[in-house]
Amino acid sequence: MTNIKSNKSALVVLILGLSTIVFPLYLTIVIAFKQPSEMTNSIDGILSLPKVWSLDNFREAMEITNFWHSLGNSLLITLLTVGLSILLHSLMGYALGRNKAHSKFYSFVYLFIVSGMFVPFAILMMPLAKQTAEMGLANWFGVVLLYMVFYMPMNVLLYSGYLVNIPMALEEAAKVDGASTWRTYWKIIFPIMRPMHATVAVLTALAVWNDVMTPLVIMAGSDQNTLPLAQLNFQSQFGTNYNLAFASYLLSLIPILIFYIICQKQILNGVVNGAVK
């Protein structure tokens, strides 16, 4: 195992790095509690603690964003996207990852899908707005479908990359026992990819949670808001209420942080170590 000395230096590096995170977080928190009249351009002004610690900003922010409603929409879209991504993208990653080395067709499909990652969203936006409306998908379900497509390249890339480290021997052993490929996948491969499921879940959830453009364009005029959409209310060209906005961003940060903490345990307690041996 790595020796104790390097652990200590690792700790020092980590603590130093931490300051680059603690400082912005501190600013975010104090600003979220201040009043607009407490905002200044001087350094001691910005660093100072708020005059009163009151939850009023949070309350008002929740009111403006219609918090529970927007949160519900955001949760629905995020969880559905994450769940479907884990199920479908892992399958696709499996099919492509296992075949792309020896089949021209799969190797082409793999490159075709992965290159989809680089299509600038702006070029798709107008055509998609039209297409989803024509298909009756100008709603949250359409948004989920689009996310399934947008994050497919990245997730397929991740899954098939992960598969490289999972030996074929495992599947062959199952086949000897007479299990079908489909069954083998769900029984053996899917559980083994658990760390990657968690990684995919985190990356996808994060991207979906913060995304503004897709729901803005697709759900335009539907009266439904996600949290990031609702948070746009705090800023306009001629005036931004940073205090309320920061309070609102702190609130919306909590669910995703909890989600991450749950997932990261999965990333770390990977079963691969035990299984591969």
Please tell me whether residue 19 binds another protein under the rule CB under 8 A: no
Please tell me whether residue 67 binds another protein under the rule CB under 8 A: no
List the beta strands (DSSP E) in the chain.
235-236, 239-240
Query: Smallest gap, in angstroms, from Cβ of residue 53 to another protein?
Result: 20
Cβ burial, residue 72 (10 Å; 0-12/13-18/19+): middle
Interaction with another protein in 110-129: which residues (CB under 8 A)? 111, 113-129
Query: Smallest gap, in angstroms, from Cβ of residue 183 to another protein?
Result: 10
Largest Cα span, the chain: 73
Whichever of 42 and 53 has its CB closer to another protein, that residue is 42
Task: Provide the β-strand partners of residue 239.
Answer: 236
Query: Smallest gap, in angstroms, from Cβ of residue 275 to another protein?
Result: 10
Please tell me whether residue 234 binds another protein under the rule CB under 8 A: yes
Query: Smallest gap, in angstroms, from Cβ of residue 25 to another protein?
Result: 6
Interaction with another protein in 47-66: which residues (CB under 8 A)? none
Query: Smallest gap, in angstroms, from Cβ of residue 104 to another protein?
Result: 14
Query: Smallest gap, in angstroms, from Cβ of residue 238 to another protein?
Result: 4
Q: Report the residue from 49, 52, 55, 220 that binds another protein according to the rule CB under 8 A.
A: 220
Token pair for 238: 């001629």
Distance (Å, rounded) from C-alpha 137 to C-alpha 144?
10
The contacts of residue 42 (CB under 8 Å, 6+ apart) are: none
Distance (Å, rounded) from C-alpha 274 to C-alpha 277?
6
Q: How many residues bind another protein (CB under 8 A)?
A: 140
CA distances from 93 to 86, 146, 159, 182 (A): 10, 18, 5, 14
Q: Report the residue from 30, 95, 143, 208 that binds another protein according to the rule CB under 8 A.
A: 95
Interaction with another protein in 171-210: which residues (CB under 8 A)? 175, 180-182, 186-187, 190-191, 194-199, 202-203, 206, 209-210
Whichever of 2 and 53 has its CB closer to another protein, that residue is 2
The contacts of residue 204 (CB under 8 Å, 6+ apart) are: 81, 82, 85, 147, 151, 155
